[in-house]
Structure 1
Amino acid sequence: MEKARNVDIRQFYREDLGVHSEELLDKLEAVSQAVTLQKGEILNKKGERQTMLPFLIEGMMRCVTLDSEGKEKTLGFTMNRGDVVLSNMDLTGCHISTDQALVPSTLILLPIDYVLQNMKDEPEVIRVYQEQIVKWGMIYQSRAVSLSQGDATERFEWFCKEYPGMIDMVNNRYIASFLGITPVTLSRLRHGVATKVGREKRTDEE
């Protein structure tokens, strides 16, 4: 992990998170840091405490853990600007999964201690923190529901809508693990969709 260049931290808090107090923007800019992770680099490891609130600026992250057999299990992806990259945590605030960059990725890190220490004096800090945690919770819940329902085809179609374009950028093994299917099944589904799109395109041209 290295310091990111040409990242306007102040602009991110103002335009993406809606912070308007110039005094608070000064403080957030002072305590936050912008970092770049290379492909395959780890942001948070399983067992480490959550000390930062990481916001994705650009790139793509995946949350991964090991199952009972010691095999990797992809739990989720983050690819939208402004989304919080949060692993699953236990009651002590320690990660029970790992966050890894799938491509070179840039993030802004806000110390959680700063948020907790300034909640009483800075209402906007409370708002930003609560909004991001609620947003993350809703994404997590929606994802869990979608993955628990439907057959392989329905889950694949949901994935393509939820993460547009990712199917062509991410290792098939990661996506198959996330959807709870085998790489062979994923390849079959991809081929089926491509064939369907091809037929529809020819029909439109006729």
Structure 2
Amino acid sequence: MDLQNFYTEILKLSDTQLVQALTENSQIKLIKKGDVLQHIGSPSTELYFLMKGLLRGYLLDSKGKEVTDCFVYAHGTPVVSSINLGESSLICIEALEDSELIAIPFSVVLPLIGSNLEVIILYNRLLSNSLKMHWENKTVLVQYTAAERYQWFLESYPGLIKRVSHRYIASFLGMTPVSLSRIRRIVRDGEN
């Protein structure tokens, strides 16, 4: 998919001048498995959208241990590492697979957020979707049992159980890898 089609078909932008400006100022960025796209504390300079691949966002706890915050795997998903665009990154974003992203400099995006109604609507839609996803994740972590969290993960993140290291999934679900392994075995044995 070319950049222009991405903006019109995936992001649903209809303003031809806006699409042309974004297309002219965007580039495709390739990131290899294991590479870090954004480090914690480093300034964010670009807005990314995932075209293909798999990314993981993580924080560090008080002991410096990685805690998985999110997975980005769906085509067209925005990849943002801080609440406000252009601020220092709150999470580290690393590639779990070779990945392809669209990169747009914040110097292009930020003025549009303040002046273009179509971009304002898109920005609000993306923020709303992100907030909804994060609240669902946090609610699941607090209200579900470990087995229920695992079942929710299988339903909400189809196919990722085969693509993501189980230690990252365990971290994301707030359990140890040993607990996840035990739950997986119970679920697998219950299906047979």
TM-score interval for Structure 1 and Structure 2 normalised by the shorter chain: over 0.9
1:58 lines up with 2:52 in the alignment: yes
User: Counterpart in 2 of 1:30?
Assistant: 24
User: Counterpart in 2 of 1:45?
Assistant: 39
Unaligned runs of 5+ in 1: 1-6, 199-206
Q: What is the percentage of aligned positions where both structures have the same residue?
A: 37
How many residues were matched structurally?
192
- SS at the partner of 1:54? strand
- Offset from partner CA, 1:4-49 (integer Å, 9 cap, x none): xxx5111100000111222211101011111111111111110112
Deviation at 1:117, TM superposition (A): 1.3
Q: TM-score, normalised by structure 2?
A: 0.92
Distance 2:15 2:34 in 1: 37
Deviates more, 1:119-128 or 1:152-161: 119-128
Report the residue type matching 1:160 in the other structure.
Answer: L
Q: TM-score, normalised by structure 1?
A: 0.86
| Contact preservation (8 Å) 2:113, 2:123 | no
- Offset from partner CA, 1:54-73 (integer Å, 9 cap, x none): 11111111101211111111
| Contact preservation (8 Å) 1:10, 1:29 | yes
4+ long deviations beyond 6 Å: none
| Contact preservation (8 Å) 1:115, 1:126 | no
Report the residue type matching 2:130 in the other structure.
Answer: W
Larger-gyration structure (1/2): 1
User: Counterpart in 2 of 1:13?
Assistant: 7
User: Counterpart in 2 of 1:86?
Assistant: 80
Distance 1:174 1:130 in 2: 30
User: Counterpart in 2 of 1:172?
Assistant: 166
Q: CA RMSD in A?
A: 1.8
| Contact preservation (8 Å) 2:44, 2:87 | yes
Deviation at 1:182, TM superposition (A): 1.0
Structure 2 residue corresponding to 1:185, chosen from 166, 179, 184: 179
